[in-house]
Amino acid sequence: MKVRATSIAQFAVFCLLIGTAGCARTAMRQSLRFDEWRRSGAEVAVVPPDVMIEEVGVLGRTRLPQEDGQVAAAAPAVAEQVLRAAGLLVREGALCRPATGDGGACDAEVTQGRRSFGAIEAQLWGSNAMIPEKEALAYRAGLAPPPAALSSCAGVAALVFIDVRGWRKSAARVTAEMTGEVALAVLTLGNSKGTGSDPYGETTASIAIVEAATGEVLWANRVTRSRGMLVGKPEDAVAACLEPLSQNGKTPGLKEILFGRR
């Protein structure tokens, strides 16, 4: 009887795994042409990222331009490293410098390309970022106008657009929250759980590989990562966002769930 109960439990777990794998959801988007394009060996170049990091203080939010610049400088190298590790051909540093805004070479093209990517982000992840995997692996979207002029600046067939949005708490905000938790614990005789799970900061990276000639989004993903006071950097979210490329752009299926990826 005990053996039968164990078998029933194992079968129930197996059925649950099948159900989970069958309706897996993902923030990744992939064109039907992506695998073919990837096999073609076309080069890509990373576009200088669009970055906005804010500090959440006691009285509100403040933009952190210095941290914006640090992330904008570090993120392209992180992206290039992950892209190379995933087997893509990367033209390093082809566009990896922030737009100067002084009318320099490709500044206008970079600005237009980032604006087009920003406009399509609502379509890619707007009201429902997590969609069924089957739908995600046959996704259709495109930048308008196609970033052909920008690709000419880099001499590549595809471009990697990166958008980074993040926030972190100010020292005053952290102190105020800790003081509030201590006071609450005293008033409730230690029965309050407080808000200790609230992160110190958070970063969302949205990335797309776009075919320059057509504007087609070949592959895209969005990832949100928490950051601690002493550990974690905004550019870590960029690496995490591109990581599925090392898995051929696919989320784990039933075999990987049961036995692990080999």
| pLDDT 10s digits, 121-133 | 999 998 889 999 9
Predicted confidence (pLDDT) per residue in 196-207, tens digit: 556 789 999 999
> CA-to-CA distance for 221 and 124, rounded, in angstroms?
9
What 3-state class would DSSP assign to 25? Answer: strand
Residues in the chain: 262
> CA-to-CA distance for 262 and 259, rounded, in angstroms?
9
Q: Is the pLDDT of residue 256 over 50?
A: no
> CA-to-CA distance for 26 and 245, rounded, in angstroms?
14
Token readout for 206 is: 């949205």
pTM: predicted TM-score of the whole model, two decimal places: 0.79
Predicted confidence (pLDDT) per residue in 49-84, tens digit: 999 999 999 889 999 999 999 999 999 999 999 999
